[in-house]
Amino acid sequence: MNDRSHLLTEQRNPASINLDAMSISDAVALFNAQDQLAVAAVAKEKDNIAAAIQLVVAAFNSNGRLFYIGAGTSGRLGVLDASECPPTFRADPNMVQGIIAGGEDAMFRPQEGAEDSPTQAAADLDARHLAPNDVVMGIATGGTTAYVHGGLRHAKKIGAKTIFFSCVQPFPDETPVDVVIRPLTGPEILTGSTRLKAGTATKLVLNAITTIAMVQIGKCYENLMVDLRASNTKLRDRAARIVCTLTNASRDTAFKTLDAANGHVKLAILMLKKPLPAPAAQKLLDQSNGHLRQALSR
């Protein structure tokens, strides 16, 4: 068994040596101070994050998909980010997929041994018909997860683009990938608990990757989520407010137009701004590859 004590995420944090003797107030202050380190570590990786986003945008523009693979917290955060894309961006659920070692059960109950398999990720990716126009992002905050590295090696063999996310320094024989994102968040307050700063850094990076990639392919206008799926009362209200903001229509008109557009915000905006019936507005949107700004300028 390899000794992992040299890895940053496994080392003891001098600031929290007396954690068990701290007052609640002091512990909260410590957490807040340490969280700032995660933000700073991610900021240093901005160029690598941008390079990763370029790979994802290219995949989306060629009908490819983004797969997150990870174990434990890393896997759960990938599944979380993927699950948020359909309601936020009206994205096909297959477009961004999170795969966690141990399968769906591992989302709710730890399947700790699953991360040690170097071959299972390949099988999990093949079950989703991984293709050369896809991107696989392996998330392993502690760096060494066999499941993740096995999946990345398989993706490389298939011809898919690969991204590796880690919060530890490089180690010998690390799997070669197209882009590495490595925010060095340092030792955790609770030694080895990478759901803390490392998990925060992971969430920050995944937020940026999918949001900016979706913006790049036309799922946003100005800073408004004009491609959201109005699937509940809150989102229906937000959709109507977006339509009102961009068209100056009344709230009643916005709801009626959204109904005529089957809840599609971009379509409703075009119907009111041009104005056009739904079929003609949809044709214009298709001609603009889904970019509302381009459709409005035609």
Residue 1 predicted with pLDDT over 60: no
Task: Count how many domains the chain has.
Answer: 2
At residue 96, what are phi and psi to the nearest 5 degrees?
Answer: -125, 120
Same domain, 141 and 76: yes
**CATH label of the domain that carries residue 106:** 3.40.50.10490
Q: Tell me what the pLDDT averaged over the chain comes to.
A: 94
| Given the residues 10, 45, 112, 115, the one annotated as active site | 115
172 or 54: which leads in pLDDT: 54
Structural domain includes residue 1: no
- Whether residue 114 contacts residue 107, with contact meaning beta carbons closer than 8 Å, is answered with no
At residue 23, what are phi and psi to the nearest 5 degrees?
Answer: -70, 160
Q: What is the pLDDT of residue 111?
A: 67
Same domain, 179 and 287: no
For residue 230, what pLDDT band results from cuts at 50, 70 and 90? confident
Same domain, 80 and 212: yes
Same domain, 209 and 256: no
Structural domain includes residue 262: yes
Structural domain includes residue 205: yes
Question: Which residue matches tokens 């995944």?
Answer: 206
For residue 172, what pLDDT band results from cuts at 50, 70 and 90? confident
Query: By 3-state DSSP, what share of the chain in percent is helix, strand and coil, each rounded to 5?
Result: 55, 10, 35
Same domain, 190 and 109: yes
Give the C-alpha separation, 75 to 80, whole Å: 9
- Whether residue 59 contacts residue 135, with contact meaning beta carbons closer than 8 Å, is answered with yes
pLDDT digits 0-9 by tens, 11-38: 899 999 999 999 999 999 999 999 999 9
**CATH label of the domain that carries residue 245:** 1.10.8.1080
Q: What is the pLDDT of residue 112?
A: 67
What region, left, alpha or beta, does residue 193 occupy, with left being phi > 0 and alpha being psi -120 to 50 degrees?
beta
| Given the residues 10, 84, 174, 222, the one annotated as active site | 84
pLDDT digits 0-9 by tens, 28-86: 999 999 999 999 999 999 999 999 999 999 999 999 999 999 999 999 999 999 999 99
- Whether residue 243 contacts residue 258, with contact meaning beta carbons closer than 8 Å, is answered with yes
pLDDT digits 0-9 by tens, 80-136: 999 999 989 989 999 999 999 988 888 888 766 677 788 999 999 999 999 999 999
Provide the domain limits for residue 258. Answer: 233-297
Q: What is the pLDDT of residue 205?
A: 98
Structural domain includes residue 226: no
Catalytic residue flag (residue 84) = yes
pTM: 0.92
Structural domain includes residue 199: yes
Residue 9 predicted with pLDDT over 90: no
Task: Look up residue 295 and give its two tokens.
Answer: 């459709």
State how far Cα 225 lies from the chain centre. 16
Catalytic residue flag (residue 45) = no
Same domain, 120 and 249: no
Question: Given 216, 251, 279, which residue is the final one in a domain?
Answer: 216
Question: How buried is residue 30: exposed, middle or buried, by Cβ count under 10 Å (0-12/13-18/19+)?
Answer: middle
